[in-house]
């Protein structure tokens, strides 16, 4: 999860849940001090049973942020191995699909507003790799295009039932995953090709900047925003 998300969202909601692959250092005191309830559920988003357990453990859902991600080695499709493809898609596509499928029945139970809308909101953190072809390897790029389509379809299909689904497409953000990508052995030619466009990036983003955008998209203030893909890349994708 982007580090900023677990600090910003609790300040505006009573309860939240954060499934993750690694043990979660959740700011429970921040939430409970404000009179809310914090539940941390450890799990693997690529395993449907873990997603179902997390939703069952928490119960009522108003907001879900799909934010787990897995990188590839920036390999082009001709040098892509099955293991990498399957691992990246398991986290980046299967995980959000499992979460949508498990969370929607819970959101539909919410009363919503007077018109029966605003029952729930999804925010899926994708990437400008999901709107462009030259920012990463074949597996990551394909997975981010796929989850973008899944999230947009969810927004359209459930709009009349009061559920919204929006997508954030960040550029480079100063997170642990980006740091890891710089130390992991990458495909040399793929990395060279991808790096050619990095010079057009105005600046690296901060986790809290993504969190602020997620907070808006999840809030009632964004009630008319649905199925949208919002770039958060300092203008990089405008190049």
Q: What residues does each domain of the chain span?
A: 48-232
Q: What is the pLDDT of residues 160-214, one digit of tens each?
A: 999 999 999 999 888 877 666 665 667 888 888 887 788 888 898 999 999 999 9
Which of 149, 146, 49 shows the shortest CA–CA distance to 99? Answer: 49
In sequence order, the 6+-apart residues with CB closer than 8 A to the CB of 233 are 128, 169, 170, 171, 172, 201, 205
In the chain, the N- to C-terminal Cα span, in Å, equals 27
Identify the pLDDT of residue 10.
47
Q: Compute the distance between CA of residue 134 and CA of residue 171 in angstroms, rounded to an integer.
A: 12
Kindly report, residue by residue over 75-127, the tens digit of the pLDDT. 999 999 999 999 999 999 999 999 999 999 999 999 999 988 999 999 999 99
Told to judge if 156 belongs to the known catalytic residues of this protein, a careful annotator would answer: no
pLDDT of 20 strictly over 50: no
Bridge partners of 63, per DSSP, are 121
- State mean pLDDT over 43-51: 94
Convert the pLDDT of each residue in 80-94 to its tens digit. Answer: 999 999 999 999 999
> Which CATH number applies to 48-232?
3.40.50.720
pLDDT of residue 28: 63
Beta bridge partners of 104: none
Q: Which of 98, 140, 158, 172 is catalytic?
A: 140
| Prediction pTM value | 0.84
């Amino acid at each position: 999860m982007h580090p900023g998300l677990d600090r910003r969202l609790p300040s505006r909601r009573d309860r939240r849940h954060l499934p993750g692959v690694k043990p979660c250092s959740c700011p429970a005191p921040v939430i409970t001090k404000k009179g809310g309830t914090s539940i941390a559920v450890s799990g693997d988003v690529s395993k449907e049973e873990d997603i179902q357990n997390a939703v069952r453990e928490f119960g009522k859902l108003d907001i879900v942020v799909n934010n787990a991600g897995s990188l590839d080695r920036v390999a082009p499709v001709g040098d892509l191995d099955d293991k990498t493809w399957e691992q990246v898609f398991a986290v980046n596509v299967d995980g959000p699909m499992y979460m949508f499928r498990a969370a929607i029945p819970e959101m539909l139970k919410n009363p919503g507003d007077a018109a029966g809308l605003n029952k729930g909101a999804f925010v899926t953190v994708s990437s400008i790799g999901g709107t462009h072809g030259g920012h990463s390897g074949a597996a990551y790029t394909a997975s981010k295009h796929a989850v973008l389509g899944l999230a947009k379809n969810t927004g359209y299909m459930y709009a009349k039932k009061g559920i919204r689904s929006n997508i954030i497409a960040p550029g480079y953000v100063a997170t642990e995953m980006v740091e890891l990508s710089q130390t992991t052995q990458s495909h040399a030619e793929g990395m060279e090709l991808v790096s050619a466009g990095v010079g057009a990036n105005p600046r690296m983003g901060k986790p809290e900047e993504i969190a602020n955008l997620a907070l808006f998209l999840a809030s009632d203030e964004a009630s008319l925003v649905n199925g949208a893909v919002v770039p958060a890349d300092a203008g990089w994708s405008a190049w």
